[in-house]
Structure formats: structure tokens, C-alpha cells
């Protein structure tokens, strides 16, 4: 094989047995890699009805064929499993350095099964693979765990690990790599914790050969120059990271505020990227060999929120900031540090606290039940709830279940703003209709990273479309979802694929990607075959959801989005018109009226 190692490392945590398997070439090609390979193996090996936190669930770390190549942003990995938060699918994505180091071990994918009798970590140094005791780092935070394990293995290795949140099975626990980067959503860290697997440490120099190394370098240099020119011209991503977005969404009236009761936040300018650059930014922080550098290396030099780390990015600002009514940038930055150190998804954590704040202010939760007042704008209370959530202390034990289960427990599930029980990211779908359809139909619950049509509805990339118009959003969402499945499987970052090669001419994206794939793997994909691979992956994920009992009947949004018009901003008076968009989406997908892939569609995709 070229591009792919074609090797899987299988680790039975129950017995300690470790084995190596080969990947069939047809499977490799049909499912591309990364997310595609993982769903194929998960679908074949895991009962969709399994308890996500049981030993019978499997946890998959997987890279793509473009991971660790010269392709700009070719440095992503996926964590795929059944989600304890949604009861559906989890496929969480992360960058940093870890993905390239994982690929260089000589394996494309790690499959973890069973449950270790005692805490362990996996050390992979090329063909040296070893499970080691981890009791001495169990209970430790992410930075401490990372430093300890590097000292025990190789200072130049890279670590992915869980913090106390994953150990305590908080349903929004993340897997952190390189201390500050997160495969965050859907509770993948809780699955890792349920297996008594504290960390994965990787090191190696084994890159698979490329089919046409010279051609790959030439195309990659060309793409890098295109990206570099944009960065030098003052790209907002390089200048401010994704933290530039609050002013955009606030202007459009879709910035989640006071737990989605409003779409505008009066103090948005106090917590955005411009303010961050003026105060706490030390430097842009790229993933390995990335020309974009959207990460933020930050430090709060003094005061009660003193600390340093990475972030916050936009979704964190929306969830821990405006959604909680917090206008103190230092406080929400500190809360972001805590989430990273303890191993929590900032989106679900912040939105869960925001829901609790609304319930407290409406009288549905008492100070006695929470242990303290919990009002919108109370930054210190928000930070305290983050800590309690990770350790499941006091009311944190309830918060750790996520906003849907918390609100349901107290008789008010309508307060939780979720899809498939996963908290919304930072775009109010009443003012961005396509995002509402995306949240409702996402295979992993509400997620902008499942096919972010905000690129067109909000940012005008590659072309601006009317965010308030419901018509035409079915085919648009389908196209983005298939493209993101393909990007995740290839091992690229969506920032490159969408912003620089997904242009007005739809076929440019798969044409460029198919050429990158050909030069790397030798697999002579046509652009149409590339798109078909993305569609195949998305449909197989849908079959897993149906088997798990969360099919078309769960393609919906919470009452606030469907029945409560936005009270402010340009989208004032609007609700999400899901009833108009959903039939169009099903038709575009070739699914029946209940959201099931038809036999004809499955046969077309080779899934019959």
C-alpha cells in the first residue's frame, strides 16, 4: 500500500492481548481512512444497542491517508465509538501534534476493546507496543499526566489522555492531546475512562511511502502558498483565531445568549478575538506544520484568574461566555483552561451550566439543590460548576449528565437546547436555517463539525446565501455532510478543505482531494467517486444510528427552536422551519419519508 500503512493495532484491555491486523485494500479504498474506516469496523463489530460505558463498546483512534503528509493541515485524527451522551455515534476530531506521531508508529488505527482490571496506558514506539500500569497518574489532571508519561517513555513522544472528567465518566468528557487539543464532543473521554485507559503515548518514524512523492510535494507547496498568501493578507483566522466570530454572529443575531433566550449579547466586544489579542494573546499556535495557526497561546498574567494555556476559541466563548451571560474575558479564559486540564468538552460543559442558570432564575432549581446561587453573569459560579462537573461533586454530579438529563430530572426538559441530547454549538438556527437542519440530522447530535453550512450562511465562504431562507437547504446540508465525512476520513482539517478548495464550482473540492489522494495512495479516484465515498460513510453511520434506536424520529430540534421566535436581532420573530427542510433533505439523500436509507440507495453505495 501507499499512503496507508494498512495495519491496525488491536488492544484487548481485558486480557492484555495485543495483535496486528491488515486492512483489505478494497475496504481501505471504499472508506478512505479515518472516520470512514472506523465506522466500518464499529458497525461490523459493535452491537448498536450496547451500553456505551460497558466493556462491549469499542474505542477507535484512527488517522487518515493524508495524515502526516505534506498536505497543508494533513494532521488530524478521529476518535470513534458509541456515545454515552447521545446513545448514538461519536466521532470526535483533533489536531495538535499527536495525529502525525500516531501515524508514524506504523499503524493507521488503534482499536481498544474490553476493560482493563486496573488503570493502564498504552505506549507505542513503532513495533514496541506495551500496556503499562497507570495507577500513579489516575486522578491527575491532563498536564501532570502528560509530563509524567513523557518522562517515563520518551520526551519527544506525544500523549493523548483523559483527565478527572473522563475517569469520573462525565458524559461530556473529552480526550485531550498535546495538553490543550481536544477530541471533545459526545463523551469520548468517558468511554476511555470506562475502559480504565488513562492515556495513549506514541512515537515513531514510520511514514508509509507515497505513490508520487514529488508530485505530492509540488501540489502541497502550491496549496500552502495559496493559504500563506491569505494569512499574509491579514486573514482573520491567523489574526484572531476563531475568536473573531462573536462579532459576526452577534451582528446576525445568532450568538447564543442567556441559554438561547436571545440572539445578541450586549457585551460581545468584551469577549471576542480583538479583545483577546489586546489582553492575553501571546502568539498564534498552529497544529503540526499548519500554515493557518488558528490556535491561541494565551496567558492571564495576574489576578484571581491567573493562568496560561491555549484558547479560548469561538465555541468556548459562546458557551462559557454569552450563553452564561459572562462578559469577563479573563474568567471565561480561565474556565477554558480548567476544561482543558480536567478534560471537558467546553461546548457541552458551558451550555449545561447555562441551562442550569436559566432553571435557577426561573425557580426550577434552588440554591439548596445547587449549593450556591447560580445566576447569569456570575463568572465565579460558572467556574465552580465546571470544577464540580469534572469531579462529579455535589450538584456537579447532575451537571455531568449533560443539560438534557439535568433538565429532565427536574421536570423541565424544554430548557435544554440539544439535538440527540447533545448541546448546540454557537449558531442559533432560528437565524441560520441550514444549521438547524444540520443539527437535527447530524449523526452525532448537534455539531457544527458534521457539515458546517455556516460557511455559506454566515461567512459567505465560498458564496453567501440567505440564512433565513429554508428552501434549498436540504441539498446544501447533504453536500456539506458528505464533504465533511470525506475530509475527516482523509485526515485533513476542514479549514483548508472548505476555505481553499471548496469553491463555487462544487467539483473543485473533490477534484483537488482526489488528486491529493492519488498522489499519496495511488488509488485513482474520480471526483465523483470521492463524493460517493463521503456519502457511503454518512449512510453507514446512519444505519448504526437506526440500529441504536435513534433514527428519523430523533431528527428534530428542541421546542425553543421550533416554537419560540427570536426576540431580538435581524432574525427577530423567526423560528427554525424544520418541517419545510426535512422532507427536502430526505429526498436529496434518497431516504424514505421516515429518514431511512432506501434499499436502492444502499445498493448504489455498496451497502446492501
Identify the pLDDT of residue 235. Answer: 76
In degrees, rounded to 5, the angle at the alpha carbon of residue 339 between the alpha carbons of residues 448 and 152 is 115
Cα-based distances in Å from 406 to 396, 397, 479: 10, 10, 34
For the entire predicted model, the pTM comes to 0.97
Cβ atoms of 593 and 583 closer than 8 Å: yes
pLDDT tens digit sequence for 187-229: 999 999 999 999 999 999 999 999 999 999 999 998 888 887 7
| C-alpha torsion angle, residues 352, 358, 360, 362 (rounded to 10) | -150
Cα-based distances in Å from 37 to 34, 382, 532: 6, 39, 15
Cβ atoms of 465 and 11 closer than 8 Å: no
Identify the pLDDT of residue 497. Answer: 66
Every domain of the chain with CATH number 1.10.569.10 lies at 236-416
Report domain 236-416's class: mainly alpha
3-state secondary structure of 159: strand
Identify the pLDDT of residue 503. Answer: 45
Q: The domain at 7-203 falls in which architecture?
A: 4-Layer Sandwich (3.60)
pLDDT tens digit sequence for 535-594: 999 999 999 999 999 999 999 999 999 999 999 999 999 999 999 999 999 999 999 999
How far, in Å, CA of 445 to CA of 438, rounded? 9
Identify the pLDDT of residue 499. Answer: 60
Name residues of the chain where pLDDT drops below 50. Answer: 501-505, 507
What's the grid cell of residue 59?
474505542
How far, in Å, CA of 64 to CA of 268, rounded? 37
Cβ atoms of 224 and 72 closer than 8 Å: yes
Strand (E) or helix (H) holding 579: helix 578-589
Would you tell me how many other CB atoms lie within 10 Å of the CB of residue 172? 34
Q: In the chain, count H helices and then E strands.
A: 26, 17
Identify the pLDDT of residue 473. Answer: 97
Every domain of the chain with CATH number 3.60.9.10 lies at 7-203
Identify the pLDDT of residue 101. Answer: 98
Phi, psi dihedrals of residue 83, rounded to the nearest 5°? -85, 130
pLDDT tens digit sequence for 327-338: 999 999 999 999
Matching CATH number, 433-604, of 3.40.50.300, 1.10.599.10, 3.40.50.10790, 1.10.357.10 = 1.10.599.10
Every domain of the chain with CATH number 1.10.599.10 lies at 433-604
What's the grid cell of residue 581?
427542510
Cα-based distances in Å from 407 to 44, 184, 228, 381: 35, 22, 46, 19
Amino acid at each position: 500500500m501507499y499512503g496507508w500503512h494498512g495495519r491496525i493495532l488491536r488492544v484487548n484491555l481485558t486480557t492484555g492481548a495485543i495483535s496486528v491486523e491488515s486492512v483489505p485494500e478494497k475496504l481501505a479504498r471504499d472508506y478512505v481512512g479515518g472516520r470512514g474506516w472506523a465506522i466500518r469496523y464499529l458497525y461490523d463489530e459493535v452491537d448498536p444497542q450496547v451500553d456505551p460505558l460497558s466493556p462491549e463498546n469499542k474505542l477507535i483512534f484512527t488517522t487518515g491517508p493524508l495524515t502526516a503528509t505534506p498536505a497543508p493541515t494533513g494532521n488530524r485524527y478521529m476518535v470513534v465509538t458509541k456515545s454515552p451522551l447521545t446513545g448514538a455515534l461519536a466521532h470526535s476530531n483533533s489536531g495538535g501534534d499527536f495525529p502525525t506521531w500516531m501515524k508514524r508508529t506504523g499503524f493507521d488505527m488503534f482499536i481498544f476493546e474490553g476493560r482493563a482490571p486496573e488503570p493502564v496506558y498504552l505506549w507505542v514506539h513503532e513495533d514496541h507496543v506495551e500496556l503499562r500500569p497507570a495507577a500513579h497518574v489516575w486522578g491527575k489532571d491532563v498536564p501532570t499526566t502528560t509530563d509524567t508519561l513523557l518522562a517515563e517513555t520518551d520526551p519527544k513522544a506525544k500523549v493523548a489522555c483523559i483527565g478527572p472528567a473522563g475517569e469520573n465518566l462525565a458524559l461530556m468528557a473529552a480526550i485531550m492531546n498535546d495538553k490543550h487539543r481536544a477530541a471533545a464532543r459526545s463523551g469520548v473521554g468517558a468511554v476511555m475512562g470506562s475502559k480504565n485507559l488513562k492515556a495513549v503515548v506514541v512515537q515513531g518514524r514510520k511514514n508509509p511511502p507515497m505513490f508520487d512523492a514529488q508530485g505530492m510535494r509540488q501540489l502541497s507547496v502550491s496549496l500552502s502558498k495559496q493559504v500563506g498568501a491569505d494569512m499574509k493578507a491579514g486573514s482573520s483566522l491567523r489574526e484572531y483565531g476563531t475568536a473573531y466570530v462573536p462579532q459576526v454572529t452577534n451582528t446576525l443575531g445568532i450568538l447564543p445568549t442567556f441559554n438561547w433566550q436571545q440572539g445578541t449579547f450586549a457585551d460581545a466586544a468584551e469577549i471576542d478575538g480583538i479583545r483577546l489579542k489586546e489582553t492575553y494573546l501571546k502568539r498564534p499556535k498552529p497544529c503540526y506544520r499548519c500554515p493557518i495557526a488558528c490556535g491561541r497561546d494565551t496567558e492571564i498574567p495576574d489576578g484571581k484568574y491567573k493562568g496560561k494555556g491555549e484558547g479560548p476559541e469561538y465555541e468556548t466563548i459562546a458557551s462559557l461566555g454569552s450563553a452564561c451571560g459572562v462578559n469577563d474575558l479573563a474568567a471565561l479564559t480561565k474556565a477554558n483552561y480548567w476544561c482543558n486540564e480536567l478534560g471537558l468538552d467546553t461546548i457541552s460543559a458551558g451550555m449545561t451550566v447555562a441551562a442550569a442558570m436559566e432553571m435557577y432564575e426561573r425557580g426550577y432549581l434552588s440554591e439548596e439543590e445547587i449549593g450556591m446561587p447560580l445566576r447569569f453573569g456570575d463568572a465565579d459560579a460558572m467556574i465552580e460548576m465546571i470544577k464540580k462537573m469534572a469531579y462529579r461533586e455535589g450538584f456537579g454530579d447532575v451537571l455531568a449528565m449533560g443539560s438534557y438529563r439535568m433538565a429532565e430530572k427536574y421536570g423541565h426538559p424544554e430548557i435544554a437546547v440539544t439535538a440527540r441530547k447533545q448541546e448546540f454549538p454557537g449558531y442559533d438556527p432560528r437565524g441560520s436555517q441550514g444549521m438547524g437542519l444540520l443539527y437535527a440530522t447530524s449523526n452525532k447530535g448537534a455539531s457544527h463539525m458534521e457539515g458546517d453550512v455556516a460557511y455559506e450562511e454566515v461567512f459567505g465562504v465560498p458564496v453567501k446565501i440567505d440564512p433565513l431562507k429554508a428552501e434549498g437547504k436540504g441539498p446544501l446540508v447533504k453536500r456539506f455532510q458528505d464533504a465533511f465525512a470525506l475530509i475527516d476520513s482523509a485526515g485533513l482539517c476542514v479549514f483548508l478543505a472548505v476555505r481553499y478548495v471548496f469553491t463555487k464550482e462544487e467539483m473543485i473540492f473533490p477534484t483537488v482531494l482526489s488528486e491529493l489522494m492519488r498522489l499519496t495512495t495511488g488509488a485513482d479516484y474520480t471526483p465523483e467517486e470521492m463524493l460517493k465515498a463521503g456519502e457511503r460513510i454518512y449512510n453507514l453511520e446512519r444505519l448504526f444510528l437506526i440500529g441504536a434506536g435513534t433514527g428519523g424520529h430523533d431528527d428534530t430540534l428542541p421546542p425553543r427552536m421550533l416554537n419560540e421566535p427570536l426576540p431580538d436581532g435581524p432574525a427577530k420573530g423567526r423560528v427554525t422551519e424544520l418541517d419545510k427542510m426535512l422532507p427536502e433533505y430526505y429526498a436529496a439523500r434518497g431516504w424514505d419519508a421516515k429518514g431511512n436509507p432506501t434499499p436502492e440507495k444502499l445498493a448504489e453505495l455498496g451497502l446492501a
